[in-house]
Amino acid sequence: MLYTYSIHMAQHPVIRINLDSDVPAQRQIVDNVRVLLVEGTLRPGDSLPSVRRLAMELGVHFNTVAQAYRELAAEGWIDLKHGRGAEVVERAPTPPSREQIADFRLQLRQMVARMRAQGLSTARIAAELHAIEEDITQ
C-alpha cells in the first residue's frame, strides 16, 4: 500500500512510502526527506510536520517517524525541538571517506543491477543518471 504526504509549502514536496516494500518505512522516510533536502526543495528554516501528524498521514507508528527524524538530526539536517517539531537547518557538508565512497559505489551498482533486472536498458539507466545529475547541479 502506497501512502503519500504533501508538506504544505509553496512547492508541495511529497513524502511517499510503500508499506508493501521490503525497505523499512523508517528508511523510506529518511531517504525521501533527504532527497527533498539535497535537491533544495526543503531549505533551512522550513518546518517538517510533527511526528504524530506525519505518522498518521503515512499510516505508520509515531516511533517510526521519530526514529527517522532522529537519524536526520544526527546527520545534521534538522533540529528537533521537543513539542515544537523539526526544523531544517543549514548543514555544512563533510567530505566522505574512501570507505563511504566505496559503499556509495556499491549501492549504485546494486541499484543499476535491480534496474537491469526489471528490464531497463543501459541507455535508459544512463539517461536517468544524467537527469539526476542535472537535478542536483542546478
pLDDT in tens, the chain (138 residues): 666 555 544 445 688 889 888 999 999 999 999 999 988 889 999 999 989 989 998 999 999 999 999 999 999 999 998 777 799 999 887 888 999 999 999 999 999 999 999 999 999 999 999 998 887 776
As a CATH number, domain 2-88 is 1.10.10.10
Pairing state of beta strands 78-81 and 2-6? unpaired
- What dihedral angle (degrees, nearest 10) is formed by the CA atoms of 59, 18, 27, 40? -100
Hey, where are the domains in the chain?
2-88, 98-136
Residue 122 DSSP one-character state? H
Q: How far apart are CA 127 and CA 44, in angstroms?
A: 31
Residues pairing with 80 in the sheet: 86
Residue 96 corresponds to which amino acid?
P
CA distances from 87 to 39, 91, 106 (A): 17, 12, 32
C-alpha cell at 79: 533540529
Q: How far apart are CA 58 and CA 16, in angstroms?
A: 8
CA distances from 61 to 51, 52, 79 (A): 9, 8, 21
User: Side-chain half-sphere of 123: how many Cα atoms within 13 Å?
Assistant: 0
Q: How far apart are CA 58 and CA 38, in angstroms?
A: 22
User: Taking the model in full, what pTM does it have?
Assistant: 0.72
